[in-house]
């Protein structure tokens, strides 16, 4: 492989280096795993946290079940249960009007971004790593890391923010905090719709606005996004050669190329790194990493709490 090809990392090249059949569910008693993880965290100079949807689900921000049906009964009645079966799928409903689109998203945003306080699981996690040199790479858009004490300059939220909106066609590289608008929409919503005068319009092109979420090629990467991307690279450079831990929390296979596969690859290539993977059902790890990897399945809120009490 020449240098040019090496720069392009995708899941095939990663799986070529760590063979797919090398993945195992570790057969190590839970107590020993906690002890080992605690020791690795204590001894580490740097901690890189990689967090996906699973950590927020474990923290209580569940997208299905009662939390969905209680809050969205009006939407379920109006739109049916094909899309309106959980807050993830509901977001893909092809709302025919802007009034309906914002009727839904204002509610979704309040419930998952603005109304919840810092949740105990996140606060415990912060307490575990707060004295460390840490950085957070996350695909989550619910702002829990910011709320729980993690410094904003150490959080790279690559996929957006439920609290912000942007031009639907990304005509200019800016995002807008929509907290005030969403609260107003929530009060004014009738039959799942907001009044037409509340529909946000792009201040530059006059077109429609959309949620600041990476869902198509029009996702706005603003100045702050680029700054955080370079802080992340700086952190990786500082971490290089130092005894460090990659702490992967609730990262599944929706977007494994952002956190899951790169974390495995980094650990594979740097003997000073260890990988701790917490995941409800998908805590399998590459066996080739031997005692530099810990994969703990099951409820993460218990695992974080146990790591916290060992601290």
Contact footprint for Zn ion (CB under 5 A): 167, 171, 202, 204-205, 207
- The DSSP code for 189 is -
Shortest spacing between CB 224 and Zn ion, in angstroms = 19
Instruction: Using the minimum distance from each CB to Zn ion, give the nearer residue, 146 or 176.
Output: 176
Report the distance separating Cα 56 and Cα 145, nearest Å.
10
Shortest spacing between CB 99 and Zn ion, in angstroms = 19
Instruction: Using the minimum distance from each CB to Zn ion, give the nearer residue, 167 or 249.
Output: 167
Shortest spacing between CB 36 and Zn ion, in angstroms = 51
Shortest spacing between CB 183 and Zn ion, in angstroms = 24
Instruction: Using the minimum distance from each CB to Zn ion, give the nearer residue, 80 or 207.
Output: 207
Shortest spacing between CB 302 and Zn ion, in angstroms = 46
Q: Residue by residue, what is the 3-state secondary structure of 269-298?
A: HCCCEEEEEECCCCCCEEHHHHHHEEEECC
DSSP code string of 66-109: HHHHHH-HHHHHHH-TTTTTSHHHHTT---SSHHHHHHHHHHHH
Report the distance separating Cα 265 and Cα 66, nearest Å.
39
Instruction: Using the minimum distance from each CB to Zn ion, give the nearer residue, 117 or 207.
Output: 207
Shortest spacing between CB 202 and Zn ion, in angstroms = 3
Instruction: Using the minimum distance from each CB to Zn ion, give the nearer residue, 171 or 192.
Output: 171
Instruction: Using the minimum distance from each CB to Zn ion, give the nearer residue, 215 or 230.
Output: 215
Q: What b/e readout covers 35-74, taking b as 16+ CB neighbours within 10 angstroms?
A: ebbbebbeebebbbbbbbbbbbbbbebebeeebbeeebee
Burial (CB count within 10 angstroms: exposed 0-12, middle 13-18, buried 19+), residue 94 = exposed
């Amino acid at each position: 492989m020449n240098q040019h090809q090496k720069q392009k990392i995708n899941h095939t090249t990663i799986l070529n280096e760590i063979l797919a059949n090398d993945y195992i569910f570790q057969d190590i008693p839970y107590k020993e795993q906690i002890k080992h993880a605690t020791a690795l965290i204590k001894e580490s100079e740097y901690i890189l946290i990689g967090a996906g949807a699973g950590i927020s689900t474990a923290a209580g921000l569940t997208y299905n079940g009662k939390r969905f049906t209680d809050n969205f009964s009006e939407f379920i009645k109006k739109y049916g249960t094909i899309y309106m079966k959980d807050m993830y799928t509901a977001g893909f409903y092809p709302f025919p009007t802007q009034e309906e689109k914002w009727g839904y998203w204002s509610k979704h945003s309040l419930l998952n971004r603005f109304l919840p306080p810092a949740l105990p699981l996140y606060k415990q996690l912060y307490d575990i790593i707060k004295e460390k040199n840490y950085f957070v790479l996350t695909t989550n858009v619910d702002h829990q890391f910011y709320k729980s004490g993690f410094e904003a300059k150490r959080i790279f939220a690559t996929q957006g923010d439920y609290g912000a909106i942007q031009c639907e066609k990304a005509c200019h590289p800016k995002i807008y905090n929509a907290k005030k608008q969403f609260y107003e929409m929530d009060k004014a919503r009738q039959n799942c719709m907001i009044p037409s005068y509340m529909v946000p319009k792009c201040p530059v092109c006059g077109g429609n606005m959309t949620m600041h979420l990476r869902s198509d090629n029009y996702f706005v990467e603003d100045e702050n996004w680029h700054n955080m991307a370079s802080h992340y690279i700086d952190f990786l450079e500082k971490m290089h050669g130092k005894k460090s831990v990659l702490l992967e929390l609730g990262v599944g296979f929706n977007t494994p190329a952002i956190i899951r596969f790169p974390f495995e690859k980094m650990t594979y290539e740097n003997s000073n790194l260890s990988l701790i993977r917490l995941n409800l059902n998908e805590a399998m790890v590459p066996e080739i990493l031997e005692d530099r990897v810990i994969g703990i399945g099951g409820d993460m809120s218990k695992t974080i709490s146990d790591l916290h009490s060992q601290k």
